[in-house]
């Protein structure tokens, strides 16, 4: 389980395709502390560390993951949001995040607004996911609060700290991001379908 509070940024060191899989090697300040078989969220996607090198770690994304996330869009040099699993005695500073991306969205606008930034995203509503005003959403692994909630989109306001310490600073209109919708909202929506 994760919280959506990004621990650090990593940089894509190399990408290697093998059959339908993609091996991503990431250079980061936390790579030296990781262990083989440890789960780490990469842009909100829970992946298992499979190899360690000095200052770097490698994870593998399978076809299913590549089809549902933006990991297949990454290029060498891109920044990636990283978060290790929440310790059982830790604080839940963001919201409950599983590291299971539901779908991607396209950034449709970025506006600077008096020292903060407004990002607007559009997603395929036919998949059945929803947002609610002032509810939680995870964008590239970042726990954020929704406003301007629509059936197929929403906006979020980004403070300078989040802008500087996540890869949102490189997201522009037309870019694809990962979305994980609030788990409580997903269960409620599922219950409503069956009642």
pLDDT tens-place string over residues 111-128? 999 999 999 999 999 998
Question: Which residues are CB-contacts of 67 (< 8 A; sequence separation ≥ 6)?
Answer: none
In whole angstroms, give the CA distance from residue 193 to residue 50: 39
| Residue 165 confidence (pLDDT) above 90 | yes
Q: In the prediction, which pLDDT does 147 show?
A: 96
Q: Which residue has the higher pLDDT, 189 or 170?
A: 170
Calculate mean pLDDT across residues 148-156.
96
| Residue 29, φ and ψ in degrees, nearest 5 | -65, -20
Is the pLDDT confidence value at 186 over 80?
no
Q: In DSSP terms, which residues pair with 178 in a beta bridge?
A: 104
**Residue 192: what pLDDT?**
78
Output the pTM of the full model.
Answer: 0.92
Whether the pLDDT of residue 167 is over 80: the answer is yes
* pLDDT value of residue 128: 87
- The dihedral of CA 86, 92, 96, 100: what is its sign? negative
What is the fold, at CATH topology level, of the domain defined by 8-84?
Answer: Elongation Factor Tu (Ef-tu); domain 3 (2.40.30)
pLDDT, position 75: 97
Q: What is the pLDDT of residues 5-46, one digit of tens each?
A: 999 999 999 999 999 999 999 999 999 999 999 999 999 999
> pLDDT tens-digit profile of 58-90?
999 999 999 999 999 999 999 999 999 987 777
Where does the chain hold its CATH 2.40.30.20 domain(s)?
A: 8-84, 103-193
Whether 99 shows a pLDDT value over 80: the answer reads: yes
CA 39 to chain centre: 14
Instruction: Kindly state the DSSP code that residue 63 receives in the 8-state scheme.
Output: H
* Contact status, residue 45 vs residue 61, Cβ threshold 8 Å: yes
pLDDT over 90 percentage in the chain: 83
**103-193, CATH topology level:** Elongation Factor Tu (Ef-tu); domain 3 (2.40.30)
> Do residues 81 and 9 touch, judged by C-beta distance below 8 A?
yes
- Report the mean per-residue pLDDT for the chain: 94
Report the alpha-carbon angle 151-82-114, nearest 5: 60
Three-state DSSP state, 181: strand
β-strands 79-84, 39-42: how paired?
Answer: antiparallel
* Contact call for residues 55 and 32 (beta carbons, < 8 A): yes
Would you give the DSSP letter of residue 87?
P
Cα gap 46→141, rounded to integer Å: 9
Query: Nearest to residue 37, comparing CAs of 71, 74, 85, 3?
Result: 85
């Amino acid at each position: 389980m994760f919280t959506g509070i990004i621990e650090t940024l990593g940089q894509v060191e190399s990408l290697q395709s093998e059959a339908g899989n993609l091996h991503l090697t990431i250079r980061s300040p936390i790579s030296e502390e990781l262990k083989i078989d440890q789960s780490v969220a990469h842009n909100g996607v829970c992946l298992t560390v499979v190899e360690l090198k000095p200052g770097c770690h490698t994870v593998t994304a399978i076809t299913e993951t590549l089809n549902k996330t933006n990991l297949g869009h990454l290029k060498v040099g891109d920044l990636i949001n990283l978060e290790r699993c929440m310790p059982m005695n830790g604080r839940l500073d963001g919201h409950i995040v599983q590291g299971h991306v539901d779908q991607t969205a396209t950034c449709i606008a970025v506006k600077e607004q008096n020292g903060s930034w407004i990002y607007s995203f559009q997603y395929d509503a036919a998949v059945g996911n929803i947002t609610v005003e002032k509810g939680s959403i995870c964008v590239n692994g970042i726990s954020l609060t929704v406003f301007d909630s629509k059936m197929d989109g929403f906006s979020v306001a980004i403070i300078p700290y989040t802008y500087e310490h996540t890869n949102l600073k490189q997201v522009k209109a037309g870019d694809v991001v990962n979305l994980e919708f609030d788990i409580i909202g997903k269960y409620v929506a599922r219950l409503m379908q069956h009642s």
